[in-house]
Amino acid sequence: MRLNKYLAQAGIGSRRACDRYIQEGRVAVNGGIQIQPAYQVEPTDVVTFDGSPVQPEDRLIYLQLYKPRGTLTTVRDPRGRETVMKWITDIKERIFPVGRLDYDSEGLLLFTNDGRITNILTHPRYEVLKTYRVYVSGQVNCRELEVLADGIVKNGRHYQAHSTKLIEHQKGFTIAEVVLNEGKKHEIRILFEGIGHPVLRLIRTKMGPITLDENLLPGEWRYLLKDEIKLLFERGGVSTDVNQ
């Protein structure tokens, strides 16, 4: 098995991330640094990542968390800040969050130890859409939302929503739905600031074919259903049997 695939199946990260870790010299085989992602791992090889032994997981894990605000989307933080791993309990396998969700944002966050799913959900070629419910200050009209779909430029970078929809007006704020197909850092916040309506609350409700479970409260999680996992693989054109 190729080294990058071996690491991905061990839950270290996506295949692309594992390529980077290998090239950064963080992976060793039989005690020696190995910088070739295509290196063929033999059953007798001992593979380590940052000095710790790794091996492909026997059980593949897929779950969704309602990420609360005020947590970092990372496995660990060198400054000791609270991460999303606080909420994932009773899982002995090493899993990791797929993609990112800002510190001040909340909602759907997927976790897995299957690098194939991470690749499907994060690689640009799959064009996985992400849907957000956005609460913004003031009364936003449809024309202003159209501006977001047309796109704005800030500091030389182009930001653009895939689509937008007005949900409702409340006293002092507006609720809208925004769909992104790329998701640059803070993109939705930057878009709404660009039309003079700062974001008050941002909830991711959908990622590809997976919808946030309405029964989950912030900090709660559940395993993905077999049908949901199948939809993810179909999104990537992968045919597989799901045995969870």
User: In angstroms, rounded to a whole number, what is the distance separating the alpha carbons of residues 60 and 58?
Assistant: 7
Q: Which two tokens stand for residue 206?
A: 């959908």
| C-alpha separations of 166 from 8, 129, 175, 190, 231 in Å | 40, 18, 7, 18, 28
Which tokens hold the place of 180? 């992104």
The reply to whether 102 belongs to the active site is yes
**135 close to 192: Cβ distance less than 8 angstroms:** no
Using the structure block, give the residue that is written with the tokens 């739905």. Answer: 177
Name the catalytic one among 102, 104, 114, 241.
102
Residue 177 near residue 131, CB atoms below 8 Å:
yes
Q: For residues 142 and 163, give the distance between their C-alpha atoms in angstroms, rounded to a whole number.
A: 12
Residue type, 184: K
Distances in Å between the Cα of 91 and the Cα atoms of 84, 86, 112 are 14, 12, 11
The identity of residue 118, as a single letter, is T
Query: Rounded to the nearest 5°, which phi and psi values hold at 164?
Result: -140, 155
What is the Cα–Cα distance from 177 to 164, expressed in whole angstroms?
A: 6
* Spatial CB neighbours of 225, under 8 Å, sequence gap ≥ 6: none
Question: Which sequence positions are flagged as catalytic?
Answer: 102
